[in-house]
Amino acid sequence: MSTRPLLQPPAAWTYPLPTEHRLDNGMRVLVHQVPGQRVISANLVLDVPLSAEDAAIEGVATICARALDEGTTDHPGDAFAEALETEGAAFMASQGQSSLQAMIDVPATRFPRALELLAEGVRRPELRDADSARHVALRLAELDQLRANSAQLASWAFRNAVFAPETRAQRLPGGEPGTVEAVTPDQVREFHRRHYGPRGATLVLAGDFAEDPVPLAAGAFADWATPDQATTSHQACRPATPTALLVDRPDSVQADIRFGGSGIDRHDPRWPDFQVGSYAVGGAFLSRLNKVLREERGYTYGVSLQNAPLRSGGTFTVAGSFRTEVVAPALEEARRLLDISATPITSDEVTDAVNYFAGVSPLRYATADGIADQTASIVAQGLELDYVNTYLAGIRAATPESASRAYAEVIDLDALTLVVVGDATVLEPALNDAGFAVTVR
């Protein structure tokens, strides 16, 4: 009978750091040489936060980003898509809360030409009237779909309730109906002219490069100049006064709940410990919330505690869908479970969280695409380039005491905002009886 082989402990792993370069126009280039990764990923990060938008036309940044691949002055209309397809390149651009990111994935042998096309799409898009108008219509259709989906509507309403009105993060990144409708093609072009430029821009490159990619980056971007490029400061998130809101969906047989408040961001030294504590309470499948509300009570198919850090500030949210008749007791139970004052995070829970966060990282960053995306995110959030390694060191150093302390400091049980989307006829009296004095909308 053969002896069962012993499992060896995992080897030490660290996030690969890029080499850093500067082009003549000040643009930063970060290069990850990843042997064996024959699909190159390039991610251009522009320092264009959503706070750059005029309040009356919020959504213009998203429309601009979505129209970048509709044609360029060099390759009008469909010719740009055909040029990308010839190189086997996939192009995508998205506007986030803190930055615009435009990226390509392409076979290494086609990288030089694909990088030129990335630069072309960002620097010289056509931004035709018809393309902008179509993307406005598509965004409005997305908003109609969002309002028809109970879970998405709950997240939208929670975002609106948890942040102060002067904070751009209070509203949807892609804009909301009244402001999206107001976006014109001229405003899209003007947004591009004023905000797209090399100042504050970073190009992240990852893959197995056959030649030094920095001269290629210089050829594509070093002559880029936007003399009157606007500078926009990044907003800090401001919390609103806690509230309880019930959004009526008549005859719904289930309700969507968002229950949480203002959180912290990755710059906060408590972030690793807070992640460990949150994972134990609601981040894992067998976390405290899911174990009780799903497995023991049968109230839901699943519930979680989600952290959403922004560049400055963020939120934590208990999120789930529940049968209408159990919403009130589920909320009472959830609030009890969020309180760890009598039941601190345990050693076993810390071990599980550390094993998860440390164990998943080598898999998450095993490809050039994963590395480029993570480094681009680090840049967009204003973090140090060694952030992942610092974060993982903090995760590994977590103890039951430090995780419990960070969790208790961030989760303010006296300042929770509640949003419930469901049948108000049934839910309003039940929630009021349970001590949740809701406003019906």
Q: What is the pLDDT of residues 148-194, one digit of tens each?
A: 999 999 999 999 999 999 999 999 999 999 999 999 999 999 999 99
Q: Would you say the CATH fold of 244-440 matches that of 19-221? A: yes
Say which CATH topology domain 244-440 has: Cytochrome Bc1 Complex; Chain A, domain 1 (3.30.830)
Condensed to tens digits (0 to 9), the pLDDT of residues 416-432 reads 999 999 999 999 999 99
pLDDT at residue 307, as a whole number: 97
pLDDT at residue 6, as a whole number: 82
Q: Where are the domains of the chain?
A: 19-221, 244-440
Say which CATH topology domain 19-221 has: Cytochrome Bc1 Complex; Chain A, domain 1 (3.30.830)
Backbone conformation region of residue 298, classed left if phi is above 0, alpha if psi is from -120 to 50, else beta: left
The CA distance from 166 to 415, in Å, is 19
Q: Which pair of tokens denotes residue 287?
A: 């976390």
Residue 39 has pLDDT above 90, yes or no: yes
pLDDT at residue 306, as a whole number: 96
Closest CA to 365 of 15, 8, 109, 1: 15
Q: Whats the size of the chain, residue-wise? A: 441
- Grade residue 1 by pLDDT with cuts at 50, 70 and 90: low
Condensed to tens digits (0 to 9), the pLDDT of residues 252-311 reads 999 999 999 999 999 999 999 999 999 999 999 999 999 999 999 999 999 999 999 999
Please report the beta strands in 363-440, taking only residues with DSSP state E, as ranges in sequence order.
417-422, 439-440
The answer to whether 372 touches 42, Cβ cutoff 8 Å, is yes
Question: pLDDT averaged over the chain?
Answer: 96
Condensed to tens digits (0 to 9), the pLDDT of residues 102-156 reads 999 999 999 999 999 999 999 999 999 999 999 999 999 999 999 999 999 999 9
